[in-house]
Structure 1
Amino acid sequence: MITKEQEEALRGWFAGRLPDGLFVELLDVTADREEITVIGRIPEPDLGAEASQVERDAALDGRIAEFRERTRDERMGVAREAERRYGRKVSWGVECGGRRALFTNVAAPVMTRLRQPERQVLDTLIAGGVARSRSDALAWCVRLVQRNADTWLTELRDSLEHVRRVRAQGPDAE
């Protein structure tokens, strides 16, 4: 986990380094030990009020695909520079018309040891067709916790940041 200051520095670097006009707005720059994810808002396609939901969905899909292809070289140039500077892979995503789409991103392996009751939960998700493997089932569980525990996780991250600041003021601080 990175500190709030490190995350702010990353956001500032990307805000200053991204080509003007790439995004309507830079929404999120988040990072962990393996990856930096940059998400920006892009303009919605201009459809009339009479457009159906199917037409709107298809237009959003088309706009996102067009942006991804048109900006690939620019984004990859920034990513290479950031990867050298920060030692992490850079992944990209966009928000368009309320829809968020991530482009290629890192799926980092995470080793864990689970006891039988936890493994049975994963195996039940597989048997029920929710997941194809224990890895998929565990990822599904993490996404479920993430969706339902945002407030708790935010408070926990804030507490960790406070602990880091206190430790930095201790006798072993450089």
Structure 2
Amino acid sequence: MITADGSEELRTWFAERLPADVYESLVSVTVDREEITVVGTLPAAESIEEFRERTRERRVEVARAAQELYRRKVAWGVRAGEETVLFTHLAVPVMTRLRQNERQVLDTLVAGGVARSRADALAWCVRLVGDNADPWLCELRDALDRVHRVRARGPDVTGSGPA
């Protein structure tokens, strides 16, 4: 099981198992309920395609072990300068209930050619919020991590502890 501060635990796990020549440095390890995404910097003078082919077998080996242990798919990516490219990452369907005025926003994006479908329009909206509210979302994630750490140190209130 991944702890509340799972990203650091996973970063250590991957850093210990990835051969030294896979990434120049490990940039990030991000986790959610379905997927772990590992991104590192591209070694100097190597194209993304060369990197992907050269490291495929080793990345697959590490991913299999991680998937068995953490019960999540593993996606890989590289950062080259300012560009980050992800390989075979998941696109997970998400169910939501929207009121008419919210559906009209999506339908307007579809009618305007911004998106092909309501699903694409909703994904576009989520990306837009993520891009424009990133500092606030980071602050919220940090606060949630602190809450999880405090809860973990607190008393056992499940009733399963000693009587």
Match of 1:64 in 2: 48
Unaligned runs of 5+ in 1: 46-59
Q: Quick one: distance in 1 between partners of 2:94 and 2:4?
A: 23
> What secondary structure does 1:71 align onto?
helix
Q: Quick one: distance in 1 between partners of 2:148 and 2:117?
A: 37
Is this contact kept in 2: 1:44–1:97, CA < 8 A?
Answer: no
Q: Quick one: distance in 1 between partners of 2:7 and 2:27?
A: 13
Displacement of 1:156: 1.1
> What secondary structure does 1:106 align onto?
coil
Q: Does 1:6 align with 2:31?
A: no
Pick the aligned partner of 2:137 from 153, 157, 171.
153
Q: CA RMSD in A?
A: 1.7
> What secondary structure does 1:93 align onto?
strand
Q: Quick one: distance in 2 between partners of 1:69 and 1:78?
A: 15
Is this contact kept in 1: 2:30–2:36, CA < 8 A?
Answer: yes
Displacement of 1:3: 5.2
Indicate the percent of aligned positions where both proteins have the same amino acid.
62
Q: Quick one: distance in 2 between partners of 1:91 and 1:140?
A: 21
Higher mean Cα deviation, 4-13 or 86-95? 4-13
Unaligned runs of 5+ in 2: none
Q: Which digits, 9 at most, give the CA deviation of each residue in 1:113-162, with x for residues without a partner?
A: 00111111111111111111111111111111111111111121122223
> What secondary structure does 2:90 align onto?
coil
TM-score w.r.t. the length of structure 2 is 0.89
> What secondary structure does 2:126 align onto?
helix
Match of 1:48 in 2: none
Displacement of 1:44: 4.5
Q: Does 1:112 align with 2:89?
A: no
Q: Quick one: distance in 2 between partners of 1:163 and 1:43?
A: 37
Is this contact kept in 1: 2:38–2:74, CA < 8 A?
Answer: yes
Displacement of 1:90: 0.1
> What secondary structure does 2:5 align onto?
helix
Match of 2:33 in 1: 33
Match of 1:172 in 2: 157
Match of 1:42 in 2: 42
Is this contact kept in 1: 2:115–2:124, CA < 8 A?
Answer: yes
TM-score w.r.t. the length of structure 1 is 0.83
Q: Does 1:91 align with 2:84?
A: no
